[in-house]
Structure 1
Amino acid sequence: MSPSPRAVALAVVLALGLLVADWPVIVVLAVALATATVVDARAARRPVTVSRQVPGRLARGVPAALTVTVGDAGARRVEVRQPRVPDVDVEPGTGAGGLEATVVARRRGHHELPPVAVRVTGPLGLGRWDREHGGRHVLEVHPDLPAARRLATAVRQARFRDPGLRRRGAIGLGTDFDQVREHQPDDDIRHVNWAVTVRQGRLMTNQYREDTERDVVALVDCGRLMAAPVPGRPGGSPDRTRLDVAVDAAAALAAVADAVGDRCGALAYDDEVRARVLPRRSSGDDVVRALHAVEPRPVDSDAERAFRAVGTTKRALVVVLTDVVDAAAARALLDAVPVLARRHVVVVASCTDVEVEAAAAGDDERALVAARVLAGRDRAVAEIRRRGAIVVEAPPDRFSAAVVAVYLDAKSAARL
């Protein structure tokens, strides 16, 4: 319980009244004010019903509604405040009689919203009570799933460049067994199933279906280089890390693979394997759940260990989502790429640094430094290509679409 600003102001007025009025009158008024404040505070103490609605799952950077409703207030005035936590914005944070706010999570992972703070002021406006309502609410923040789903929808509706939906497989018959059926005159004699023929007493043959499903594996680097903050566009303030951009691309890759019927897997690594999803159909949700909470660690990544853990013997598209700074920083990656490229199609994808590129366009000393940084990156990219990998570079806001485009190009060209 606490007095309201109105009660404090009246008490100050009574104190000043001692200068112009008889003190017995002031004492009577002071007792009346104290009594009214206590009575008002007791009225404010009566409980109110408070309900908070906020989604348990959010997408990073995507606004969601937060609503706090108050009941049984009567003539009392109720103020509601939702305390903030780091990396989660709530606007507005306070409201009268309830709260209609927008919550935006700036980082992936798990965050906890504190209980709602409620201040109830009595009908006279003299006394009030502060209390908390509800427990802590856990927010599970995923990558930018709406953007991933938009890409998948564009592919499904053939609005994306080369949707990769054509049923084109490798030259020759597929190797996926379908069923055993009775032999037809034009069937290949090499496909006769002699064991079943003996049991059935008539000629039976194996039927195969064309193998059109492809394996796609996203390798997400979680090492120290991926902790660097990047702006979404030139001139903007950094609002994500390189790892955030990589996880968004992995989610988009999985969503598109689901749309075109391919098997998608994922692996997060630094100097060890942090999370893993083996390639399988309709794995988009599994990929998101495995990657949504990974954070960069201050260690050098071991690309060779990650490549050994890819987990598929079938030829696959392996997309390494990492940061290419220069040849020295990418040495472990350069040494590991040829081993993986012997069996799989390897794509090394890295988002460009829009701030460095903007600085290189100037004519001051910063431009010279930025030009040297970009030259070192170009040398590393050329070396990666020479060792058998495809390199994708794009700004953060177009990075996911660029990765998806390379995947669909490889699929439509039957490179998988």
Structure 2
Amino acid sequence: MSPSPRAVGLAVVLALALLVAPWPLVVLVAIALTGVVGADAMAARRPVTVTRTVPGRLARGVAAPLSVTVEGLGARRARVRQPLRPDVQVEPAEADDGLEARVVAHRRGRHELPPVAVRVVGPLGLGRWDHQGAGPAAIDVDPDLPAARRLATAVRQGRFRDPGRRRRGAIGLGTDFDRLRDYQPDDDVRHVNWVATARRGRPLTNQYREDTERDVVALVDLGRLMAAPVRSWDATVPDRTRLDVAVDAAAALAAVADAVGDRCGTVAFDDEVRARVTPHRASGAAVVRALHALEPRPVDSDPELAFRVIGTTKRALVVVLTDLVDAAAAAALLDAVPVLVRRHAVVVASCADVDLIVDAAPPDPVDATTPIDGDPDTGTPGTGPPGTGTGAFDAGFTEAARRGAVAARVLDARDRAAAELTRRGARVVEAPPDRLAAAVVAAYLDAKAAARL
């Protein structure tokens, strides 16, 4: 229970009335006002029915409707407020007598919306009572599925990369025997079945059934390096973790595999396997369910463990979604890749760091009209390049130069790690957060077009 601003205003007027009116009269009016405020607050205390409607499943970064209705108010008024949680935005967060808002989750996983708070004001507008309704609501936030579906639609319609949609058989003699048939002049002589030819007395050739369904496996690193935040070139897009970007890429890969008829699976790992989906048809939804709520842990990842889970039964495209810091941090991956490439086509995908790219860029040239030296008589600091004065320009330029040098060393270390992975047989894909999913899909379609699966 609490008095409304109207009741507080009346109390202030009564206090000022003591200056001009007899105090017994003012006291009587104050007692009456207190009783009226209490009665109004008791009227506001009567229960109301609060109903909140919000989807139980959202896509990260995609707005969804949220509505709150309050029934049983009668002559009373209510102020409805939806308390906020980190990584979940509600706009607007409060309104009168009900709420029609848009909810946007900026991070995938499981989130819980707190109960709705409703402040009811009595019929006279003097007393208020706070009600709590529509208890906590659990919502599951998937990765950026609309972007994944757009990529899959572009591939299906031939607008992304057409060669990847052409199904090609394996290089060589094929995979599965289908039947014997008579030899044709344009048949490959290597397909001739000499035993059947000698038995039948006419040339016969083997016909093979091409295996058009390829296996694609997304290996998602959940180690400590994947907890680092990354920002987009677009300043309006909230920061994400490297794992968020990797899960978006895995969802896009699964959606495109469904579109072209391939089998997709996933393995999520750190120092142990935390989720696994074996490759099968139409597996996009299963991959998203397995990955959407996983979070990184402060441990070093063991890619060799994940590689052993994949096995060597059938050739597949293995996309390792990880972070390439330097050769030392990627030592376990460098040691494990040569074993995997003997059987599978391997792509190592990493998210480029926009901050490092910006810091490593050369500084803008100094304007020739800018004063170089300060005034020695007045003590005014210089504004020229380093070494020409003692002003803020020197400090700023030096700080930018230091950041640029550190960023250049980090990028150089990443390049060396990528070059070593390439030398050991893997293809390395690196792109900014907004483009990593498309880059991974392009590498997958290139592998299909080149018949490397």
Shared fold (TM-score, shorter chain, > 0.5)? yes
Contact in 2 for aligned 1:234/1:354 (Cα 8 Å): no
Amino acid at match of 2:322: T
- How far has the Cα of 1:67 moved from its partner? 1.1
Q: Where do residues 228-267 of structure 1 align in structure 2 (5 Å cutoff)?
A: 228-233=228-233, 239-267=239-267
In the alignment, structure 1 residue 85 sits paired with structure 2 residue 85: yes
1:367 matches 2:404: yes
Structure 2: any 5+ residue segments left out of the alignment?
185-190, 194-205, 364-400
Q: Tell me the equivalent position of 1:343.
A: 343
Shift, 1:74, TM fit: 2.3
| Alignment-derived partner of residue 317 in structure 1 | 317
Structure 1 residues 15-34: aligned runs within 5 Å: 15-34=15-34
| Matching of residues 138-287 of structure 1 within 5 Å | 138-162=138-162, 164-171=164-171, 175=175, 209-233=209-233, 239-287=239-287
Say which is worse superposed, 320-329 or 17-26, in terms of deviation.
17-26
Q: Residue by residue, what CA displacement relative to the aligned partner does 1:308-329 show, whole Å, maximum 9, x if unpaired?
A: 1114611000000011111111
1:379 aligns with 2:379: no
Aligned positions, number: 401
TM-superposed deviation, 1:186? 8.0
The corresponding residue for 1:109 is 109
What are the superposed Cα offsets for residues 30-78 of structure 1, whole Å, 9 maximum, x if unpaired?
2321232222222212222221111111112222221112223222111
Per-residue deviation at 1:234? 6.6
Mean Cα deviation higher: 208-217 or 152-161? 208-217
> In structure 2, how many angstroms separate the alpha carbons of the residues matched to 1:176 and 1:252?
30
- Cα offsets for 1:251-296 (capped at 9, x unmatched): 0000000111100010111111111111111111110111111111
The sequence identity of aligned pairs, in percent, is: 74
Q: Name the counterpart of 2:303.
A: 303
**For residue 253 of structure 2, what is the amino acid of its counterpart?**
L
Q: What is the CA distance between 1:95 and its match in structure 2? A: 0.7
Code of the aligned partner of 2:436: F
1:369 maps to amino acid = V
Structure 1 counterpart of 2:249, one-letter code? A
- Structure 1 residue 394, shift from structure 2 partner: 0.8
Q: Distance in 1 between matches of 2:177 and 2:77?
A: 72
Whether the 8 Å CA contact 1:279–1:312 is kept in 2: the answer is no
| CA distance in 2 between partners of 1:151 and 1:237 (Å) | 20
Pick which of 277-286 and 359-368 moved more.
359-368
What residue number does 1:357 align with?
357
- The letter of the residue matching 2:152 is A
CA pair 189-415 structure 1, distance change in 2 beyond 3 A: closer
Aligned to 2:439, the other structure's residue is in SS state helix
Q: Whose radius of gyration is greater, 1 or 2?
A: 2
Q: CA, structure 1 residues 37+143, in 2 after alignment: closer, same or farther (shift >3 Å)? A: same
Structure 1 pair 361/185, CA: closer, same or farther in 2 (3 Å)?
A: closer
Alignment match, 2:129: 129
Which deviates further from its counterpart, 39-48 or 132-141? Answer: 39-48
Aligned-pair CA distance for 1:161: 1.8
> With structure 2 as the length reference, what TM-score do the two structures score?
0.83
CA contact (8 A) 2:106 2:238 kept: no
Distance change (3 Å), C-alpha of 1:60 and 1:235: closer
Structure 1 unaligned blocks of 5 or more: 191-205
Counterpart amino acid of residue 211 in structure 2: D
Task: Specify which of 437, 443, 449 is matched with residue 406 of structure 1.
Answer: 443
> Per-residue deviation at 1:177?
7.7
CA distance in 1, matches of 2:129, 2:428: 62
Structure 2 Cα separation of the partners of residues 372 and 345 of structure 1: 30
**Which secondary structure does the structure 2 equivalent of 1:40 belong to?**
helix
Q: Relative to structure 1, is the Cα distance of residues 64 and 28 closer, same or farther in structure 2, using a 3 angstrom cutoff?
A: same
**Structure 1: 4+ residue segments shifted above 3 A:** 171-178, 183-190, 206-209, 234-238
* 61-70 or 379-388, larger mean C-alpha shift: 61-70
